[in-house]
Structure 1
């Protein structure tokens, strides 16, 4: 996954099946297999119309509309992940731990998300879905063409719903390739499905980053001897992080906890600087990038839910 730091090999879940797990390697510090948010270059309305026309040319459909991949299983799984993410963040709040603005907005407005999930399931009858033209190629192959239209709109608006922009986007698409009546009816629900998909991807990142920061806090506490803990030597504490990529959120939290503190933790900062230097970055650059990512996630989560 782009953004992971340090040496080592990131294995997919399939590659890891049957392989022994090294108990000295931190699962949080390893590079997680997280799906990228649905986000591309942000377009103004005129550029969005141009993109719609290009998309209409590029999107071919299959000859047999009955062929295709169902959306319902993924929607149901998105609901499961979103509920689990909500519960995880809620536990963090109950434990009086800090959360990001994106996490706070997600939890405070989860009732809206839950309502939308229920409506999507009710409004997505499989029989009707099977009649929609399906894409013949691309990363959404065999999904409905209108789903691809909604995906592109979400990606290039950062998930911000503007009725007039959506109308102009669809009109520009139809100037090149008319959509069926069924597809026009399905634009609204397809848009909601894509927005929920994007929220799932963001929620997974929010939860993963929170876990990474918690593990960094645990490492810092063990090094500093916080509370009733006996200080652990850097060599011992870092052993489990030596052979795996470091999550950016983990590295940033560790820097923020240990910088300008007890000289006895200086070897840890030197170790971290070496890992970052090997990837062509610095602690300051990483902190800046992490803050930018958190700000971007906060904007996108707000756009999705409001």
Structure 2
């Protein structure tokens, strides 16, 4: 069985976005080209109802965290020894606390329950991963990791002109941007460490070849040790070339051997030095952009961004007084639309349109003396019009949502009563256990007073979760 499944898993691994260690950096696009690319990406990406099982983003995040921490410690050790470090390494060293913050926020904002609801891609390198991850990946790649809210706004809007994103996906844009930025920084950090190790290896070899820093000269050390090698890491080659240049070729035959090897590969010493300098310069810019973008992400008003790109919001604003509502109420409308879309065959936009149609139909047939609440889509989304609206859209109510529906139907008084019951239960259970252990009454009273507010917080969270 394992041998039969092996080619399947091999195929999936071959298309994994995590296979490459190359820094995520593609052609730099203008706003117009970004919008064109977003449209073509939307046309190409297709979601699937039952995606293939892939390792979660949290598994990759843990791996990235390990690599970044190791890189940070290696760079810190180098500076502690008085060694010079590159600008990219300095950016990472000085801002590692910001990287840790990004990782914490990803874990906090992308719980498994939310991750499961995000539409997954049917095929391509991101097969089985959230569609919005592919959107964020493309944006980061074609901006060289330089975040700009307006560019992102244009990119997301251009994507949705071809294929709408769900409400959950739009909320996940910020999270997946952080995921991709951390991924790219991991790749840059790994390159920093590997290049540094290669340069140190070249220095150690050069010391032997030249007989310096306590070594006895071994002019043929490279030839004797690496006769089977046909290539070296660019950082190693450049460092060795720089150490051996301006030396007597009779004393250092390795330089001539190295130049012949490069010629056989179709390049020259000057070309490989130039390419490595350009590569290092580009890495410095990318790491600077990554750190700056991570800082900017924390300053963005993401609720405002969400509402500026949400097609559901656009539709509700155009057909009702949705914009005049406060943000929590608008969010209640959106949550209801998400729930109805999950429990019916309609999309979120179709649910919003149906609620508007119901409100407009009542407004058109009324005589002006009816229930004015029925002229608002919220009446059908979150109020007494829900049951009839659910029947209209073919909504099938999941059995586990009955507590929330009961509380909503019972009104505010019973909503508060539900909070009180849950809060008292949460508070009384540990007190009951402590009382069974013969805890003094004064201690129980003190613990009850201290636990009152936390118990109410838990109760509010649980009841709200049931209601939503």
- The answer, yes or no, to whether TM exceeds 0.5 is yes
1:96 aligns with 2:69: no
1:47 aligns with 2:33: yes
Deviation at 1:67, TM superposition (A): 5.0
- Contact kept in structure 2, 1:132 and 1:182, CA below 8 Å: yes
Deviation at 1:233, TM superposition (A): 3.2
Q: Which residue of 2 aligns with 1:137?
A: 123
Q: Which residue of 1 aligns with 2:282?
A: 296
Q: Which residue of 1 aligns with 2:46?
A: 60
1:153 aligns with 2:134: no
Match for 2:236 among 215, 239, 250? 250
Q: Which residue of 1 aligns with 2:206?
A: 220
Q: Which residue of 2 aligns with 1:19?
A: none
Deviation at 1:254, TM superposition (A): 0.4
Q: Which residue of 1 aligns with 2:322?
A: none
Q: Which residue of 2 aligns with 1:27?
A: none
Q: Which residue of 1 aligns with 2:335?
A: none
Q: In angstroms, what is the RMSD of aligned CA positions? A: 1.6
What TM-score does the superposition give when structure 2 sets the normalisation length? 0.57
Change (3 A) 1:207 1:130: same
More helix by share: 2
Which 5+ residue runs of structure 1 have no aligned equivalent? 1-13, 15-32
- Contact kept in structure 2, 1:59 and 1:145, CA below 8 Å: yes
- 1:278-293 pair list within 5 angstroms: 278-293=264-279
1:107 aligns with 2:66: no
Change (3 A) 1:265 1:142: farther
Larger Rg: 2
- Contact kept in structure 2, 1:135 and 1:145, CA below 8 Å: yes
- Contact kept in structure 1, 2:51 and 2:121, CA below 8 Å: no
- Contact kept in structure 2, 1:216 and 1:251, CA below 8 Å: yes
Deviation at 1:93, TM superposition (A): 1.3
Q: Which residue of 2 aligns with 1:37?
A: 23
Match for 1:81 among 64, 67, 70? 67
**Larger RCO (CA under 8 A, 6+ residues apart):** 1
1:187 aligns with 2:173: yes
Counterparts of 2:269 and 2:138, CA distance in 1: 35
Counterparts of 1:285 and 1:163, CA distance in 2: 38
- Contact kept in structure 2, 1:68 and 1:144, CA below 8 Å: no
Change (3 A) 1:238 1:103: farther
Q: How many residues align?
A: 274
Counterparts of 2:216 and 2:54, CA distance in 1: 59
- Contact kept in structure 1, 2:249 and 2:255, CA below 8 Å: no
Change (3 A) 1:66 1:271: closer
Deviation at 1:232, TM superposition (A): 1.5
Counterparts of 1:246 and 1:132, CA distance in 2: 44
**Aligned partner of residue 238 in structure 1, secondary structure:** helix
